[in-house]
Amino acid sequence: MTSINEIQEKTQWVSSRNSNISILIRGLLNSLGSCFLNWNNSVPRIEPYSSYLIFGLVVISLYFLIRFTPRRVWSLVVISIVLTPLVLVTADLILGGGRSLQSRYLLPSLLFVQISVAYFLTKCIIFSFYAWEKVFWRFAYLTMVFVGVISAITIAKTPGWDYLEQGRTANALNLKMAPLINVANRPVVIIFFVGLIPHRLHGVQNYLGLESPCNFPPVSCLLSPVSFFKSEATHSFVLGLSHLVNKDVDFQVINDVEASEFSSYFNIPELAQKYEEVFIYFPDKQFKSFVEQEQGGELESVFDNKLYRLKRALFSTINNSGLTQIYF
């Protein structure tokens, strides 16, 4: 059961993505184009059309390969190209999700695509009858190399490039949330999990440098069917965020706490004594209602309804009330 829970937890971000046949086809075309040309849409009018041009080049290369090489050669290449996307697309259509939308899962297929294109261009240069043909194919070959080098330079200068293709997943959003947290004064990020297995929870705590009871509330690992707050955040998302924020950013991790007992773990007056900025990472509607109704607080969305912050006006009032300072 523990292994199944771990697998489901780690792959939740893939299976939760909405996809249909048109989205999958468009994603495969983008992945195909990106293995030759990828400028992160810095030239948005070029990349969509380049994917279709590269697709045409790949089709011609495969035809050339099948036409002029032995069966044992082209069958290996074709099977290697088709097999991986076929398995991923079938799983997406039957089970749902966006496995085939991740370029890194298509790496074996894309590698053989590049081999077939390189073989095609090389043979065209070698067996050209006229001088202008050699010049044309050499120019085409150098163009492919040039755009590949430019793409590599662009990727090297773009932080977190490996997360950008994930679109609306938390790891991609972390890249945009972290700067907002880093500019805050004395910030703390509140994170709560549901059903996170104990050893995984303690791994997160140890990595973030949290030691009970000083830096975070006592953790309850209840597995009974009680009412919990639910969050989209997983341990991998939190660890990803911790790499992007400054060292002075504190984290408060809460796991499997009943909604009726949450006030003892999340207390605005106590937070106000120690921090100037309190961020809530991926809260749900039930938690927002808890803050407004039971705690008398007010949350404001900092980014895309995924990262919230307690309003400063409320903090100023509480800080001037002379409450005794209580540490977590």
Q: Is the pLDDT of residue 119 over 90?
A: yes
Tokens of 245: 């924020």
Tokens of 111: 């590698």
Rounded CA separation 312/299 (Å): 10
Considering the domain boundaries, does residue 187 fall inside one? yes
Are 203 and 254 within one domain?
yes
Are 191 and 72 within one domain?
no
Are 81 and 113 within one domain?
yes
Are 18 and 143 within one domain?
yes
Considering the domain boundaries, does residue 303 fall inside one? yes
Considering the domain boundaries, does residue 224 fall inside one? yes
Rounded CA separation 3/257 (Å): 23
Q: What is the pLDDT of residues 178-211, one digit of tens each?
A: 889 999 888 888 887 654 444 444 444 454 555 4
Are 175 and 308 within one domain?
yes
Considering the domain boundaries, does residue 165 fall inside one? no
Rounded CA separation 127/133 (Å): 9
Q: pTM of the full predicted structure?
A: 0.59
Considering the domain boundaries, does residue 109 fall inside one? yes
Tokens of 120: 């095609």
What average pLDDT does this structure show over 131-136?
A: 92
Considering the domain boundaries, does residue 4 fall inside one? no
End-to-end C-alpha distance for the chain, whole angstroms: 33
- Of 120, 136, 159, the residue at which a domain comes to its end is 159
Are 44 and 114 within one domain?
yes
Total domain count for the chain? 2
Q: Is 275 helix (H, G, I), strand (E, B) or coil?
A: coil
- Of 105, 134, 159, the residue at which a domain comes to its end is 159
Whether the Cβ atoms of residue 280 and residue 309 lie closer than 8 Å to each other: yes
The proportion of the chain whose per-residue pLDDT surpasses 90, expressed as a percent, equals 21
Are 253 and 275 within one domain?
yes
Highest-scoring range by mean pLDDT, 175-179, 220-224, 238-242: 175-179
Considering the domain boundaries, does residue 42 fall inside one? yes
- Of 115, 131, 159, the residue at which a domain comes to its end is 159
What average pLDDT does this structure show over 113-136?
A: 92
Whether the Cβ atoms of residue 144 and residue 36 lie closer than 8 Å to each other: yes
Are 130 and 178 within one domain?
no
Considering the domain boundaries, does residue 204 fall inside one? yes
Q: Enumerate helices (H) and strands (E) in the chain, giving the number of each.
A: 13, 5
Instruction: Residue 245: give the domain boundaries.
Output: 170-319
